[in-house]
Chains A and B, each alone.
Chain A
Amino acid sequence: MGRGMYERLSSILSYLYLILVCTAILLPLSITLYRAIVVYNPDGSITISFQSYTMISEAFWDKVLVNVSISLLTVAIDVAIAVPAAYALVKYELKAKRLIFTYLNGVWYVPGISYGLALVLSYYFVYKFLLGFWGFVVAYSTGFMLLALLTAIVAFRNLDPVYEEAARCLGAGRLKTFFKVTLPLVGPGITAGVVLILVLSLNEFITALLLSGPTRVKTAPLQVFSDIRHAGIQPFVAAEATVLQLVSLAIVILYLKFFGTKYLRGAIMI
């Protein structure tokens, strides 16, 4: 067997392996979609119909709306808080920089189940005013802040200081330099954080499960969970399960189409 032949075979096998693993990753989503839209007729034929989506209850769509509002508020809060912090961490000499970074990221290392319970207890005793919709917003903002922080840090680090220095030399103020030069250059990086937070907060399940009792707020994934337990695998449950997944997928695909994978590498991608 020649060398070229070996390379060719190894390349084909490599692609086959990646495709096989990716198929397994895509399996749950595609099988759920299949359940939602493929109908077995009594005569044995198969038709594709989106009727299951019309069978989703009004209440579920309300919960989707609640979910979307929570996610958008979470994104707004996290960007407003994390981007300045990332700027400070990258641009300024700070004592205990490492310690601050670890402190801000701590929540990521605590499982959602324990974090959820801890939050519930603190809501009961300290933050009674958060027993409701805002309890979710605060929980998600705290839990996902590091995604905005990390992507912003990567973006600020990749930023060549030459552009800012040029703007300053040409007479732009500190503020003007930030808004006219720095922000447009790091925008795509910050958007990466926005996308990650959106996707994760739209689908957050464990923390929501613990918060839902005390706050009396139910998000869409919780409705899916309780429908799975009560209605099993009926087509409308499958349809419900696909709604936020497809929204998340659309967000991710749109982002990748505009900005590619560049800004996500080093954060969650190799």
Chain B
Amino acid sequence: MTTSVGRRWATLPLITPAIALQSLFFFLPLIMILIVSFTYRDTFFFSPVYTLDNYVKMFRIYRIDFQNTFFLAGMAGLIDIIIGYPFAYILLRKVTRFADVFRAILIIPLFGELYIAYGLLYLILPGGPVSRLLDTLGISPLDVLYSAPMAIFGMSLYTLPFVVYNIGISLQGIDRSYEEAARCLGASRLKTFLRVTLPLSLPGIITGWLTSFGWNLGTLAIPVLLGGPILGTRVLSNQIWTTSLVTSDFGMGAAIGVMVVAITMVVFYVVVKFSRGVLI
């Protein structure tokens, strides 16, 4: 693979622009948000007043937001595992025809959470296609629409591709001879799956769940549009946006932002430790 060890100097002009771009517009802004998170309200813009208050108050004022966000993102990840595991398994082991069509469809959620939120919003709004069905069943569409399950459903659609990817990578890494050995020694299909395949693909399940969780921590359109006026607005992403840019409490907004970064950093550190894939 390595063609010319001695030409190490040649790599410098090739790789410097990339490092510079990330340093200037990713790491420096990250340091800024960290500094601002230790200042009182918007004082950073005039004469910074440094304080730890934001972090002290954060968990008291925004406890519900932390709870809601963790609950929604956690449940969405769980549903992704339940739906995504069979999907990845079938796609890799059972299906030969049209496999690329199914792969291609998995790209669509990458178009963004906003469109998922909108599509589901119309689906069950009064006068929409499903509301008539719900009416005949005696369920009020509004009860279904503005609720946690709907937001969780939207989030799980959004992150399903990442979960399928993680589980798929882990399934691909399993040496099939282990399964064949189990079968030869008399284990049933089910037993082989439960005792051999499933434990060996456990890293994929863990990384899949964490990836889904990490991505959903930052979703905004889905909880705000589908979660309803109470649950939907009280998620961390919405609080970061409104406290910082709407009510100008940059200190607190930054502090929540830093906390979200810290949580996702821990989450993805674990993911990278377990994962064999390059991208999550």
| Nearest residue, chain A, Cβ from B235 | A113
Closest to B127 in A: A233
Would you call the interface of chain A mostly helix, strand, loop, or mixed? helix
> Which has the most chain A C-beta neighbours within 10 Å: B118, B122, B123, B169?
B118
Chain B 251-272: CB-based contact to A (< 8 A → 1; otherwise 0)? 0011001101100110010000
| Cα-based distance from A61 to B8 in the complex (angstroms) | 49
A210 to B241, Cβ gap below 8 A?
yes
Q: B4 contacts which of A29, A92, A224 (Cβ < 8 Å)?
A: A92
Interfacial chain B residues near A203, Cβ < 8 Å? 110-112, 114-115
Is A172 located at the chain interface by the 8 A CB criterion?
no
Chain A residues near B18 (CB, 8 Å)?
81-82, 84-85, 104, 145, 149
Quick one: which of A85, A111, A157, A224 contacts B14, CB cutoff 8 A?
A85
Asked if residues A27 and B21 are in contact (CB atoms below 8 Å), the reply is: no
**Are B5 and A93 interface neighbours, CB within 8 A?**
yes
Which of A85, A87, A113, A264 interacts with B17 by CB under 8 Å? A85
CA of A199 to CA of B105, assembled, Å: 14
**Residue-by-residue, is A178-219 near B (CB-CB < 8 Å gives 1, otherwise 0)?**
000000000000000000100110011110011001100000
- CB distance A35 to B110 under 8 Å? no
Query: What is the distance, in angstroms, from A215's C-beta to the closest C-beta of chain B?
Result: 12
Listed stretches B52-60, B180-188, B213-221; interface member: B213-221
Proximity string of chain B (234-262) to chain A, C-beta cutoff 8 Å, 1 when within and 0 when not? 00110011001100001001100110110
In the complex, what distance in Å separates the CA atom of A138 from the CA atom of B28?
13
Instruction: Find chain A residues with CB under 8 A from B92 CB.
Output: 270
Q: When chains A and B are docked, how far (Å) is the Cα of A17 from the Cα of B93?
A: 14
CA distance A200 to B33 in the complex (A): 24
Bound complex: CA A94 to CA B122 (Å): 53
Q: With an 8 A cutoff between CB atoms, is A121 at the interface?
A: yes
A252 → chain B closest CB, angstroms: 5
Bound-complex Cα distance A210 to B29 (A) = 14
- Residues of A within 8 Å of B28, CB to CB, are 122, 126
Asked if B104 contacts A21 (CB within 8 A), the reply is no
Whether A117 is near chain B, meaning CB under 8 Å from some CB there, is yes
Q: Smallest CB-CB separation from A138: which chain B residue?
A: B25
Question: Once the chains bind, are B32 and A31 in contact (CB under 8 Å)?
Answer: no
Tell me which of B87, B105, B240 contacts A26 (CB under 8 A): B105
Bound together, the chains give a CA A107 to CA B29 distance in angstroms of 11
- State which of B36, B237, B277 has its C-beta within 8 Å of the C-beta of A111: B237
Q: Is B30 an interface residue (CB 8 A)?
A: yes
Residues from chain A with a CB closer than 8 A to the CB of B107 are 199, 252, 268
Instruction: From B15, B94, B221, give the contact of A11 (CB < 8 A).
Output: B94
Once A88-B11, A110-B261 are accepted as A-B contacts, the answer to whether A205 and B157 lie under 8 Å apart by CB is no
Residue pair A31, B26 in contact (C-beta under 8 Å): no
Judging by beta carbons under 8 Å apart, are A24 and B264 in contact? Answer: no
Within 8 A of A (CB), among B1-17: 1-5, 7-8, 10-11, 13-15, 17
Q: Is the CB of A256 within 8 A of B100?
A: yes
B29 touches A153 (CB 8 A): no
- Assess the B218–A111 pair: CB atoms within 8 A: yes
A270 touches B240 (CB 8 A): no
CB distance from B247 to the nearest CB of A (A): 12
Tell me, yes or no, whether B72 is within 8 Å of chain A by CB: no
B108 contacts A92, C-beta separation under 8 Å:
no
| Interface hits, A45-93 → B, CB 8 Å | 80-82, 84-85, 87-93
A167 to chain B, nearest CB (A): 12
A11 vs B104: C-alpha distance when bound (angstroms) = 20
| In the complex, B164 has a CB within 8 A of chain A | yes
Structural contact, B112 and A204, CB atoms closer than 8 A: yes
A233 B91 Cβ-Cβ under 8 A = no
Q: Does B64 contact A (CB under 8 A)?
A: no
Q: Say yes or no: is A131 at the interface (Cβ < 8 Å to chain B).
A: no
Cβ of A113 and Cβ of B240 under 8 Å apart?
Answer: yes
A141 to B26, CA, bound (A): 11
In the bound assembly, the distance between CA atoms of A253 and B10 in angstroms comes to 38
Q: Are B90 and A107 in contact (CB under 8 A)?
A: no
Q: Are A121 and B250 in contact (CB under 8 A)?
A: yes
Q: Are A94 and B11 in contact (CB under 8 A)?
A: yes
Between A and B, 7 residue pairs with Cβ closer than 8 Å are A25-B109, A29-B111, A82-B18, A103-B22, A106-B26, A241-B114, A249-B108
5 tightest A-B contacts by CB? Answer: A28-B119, A270-B168, A111-B218, A118-B29, A85-B18
Given contacts A196-B110, A203-B110, 6 further A-B contacts (CB under 8 A): A84-B18, A92-B2, A108-B280, A142-B25, A203-B114, A270-B165
Interface on B for A, CB 8 Å cutoff? 1-5, 7-8, 10-11, 13-15, 17-19, 21-22, 25-30, 32-33, 36, 45, 83, 86-88, 90-92, 94-95, 98, 100, 102-123, 125, 128-129, 157, 160-161, 164-165, 168-169, 171-172, 214-215, 217-221, 225, 236-237, 240-241, 244-245, 250, 253-254, 257-258, 260-261, 264-265, 268, 277-280
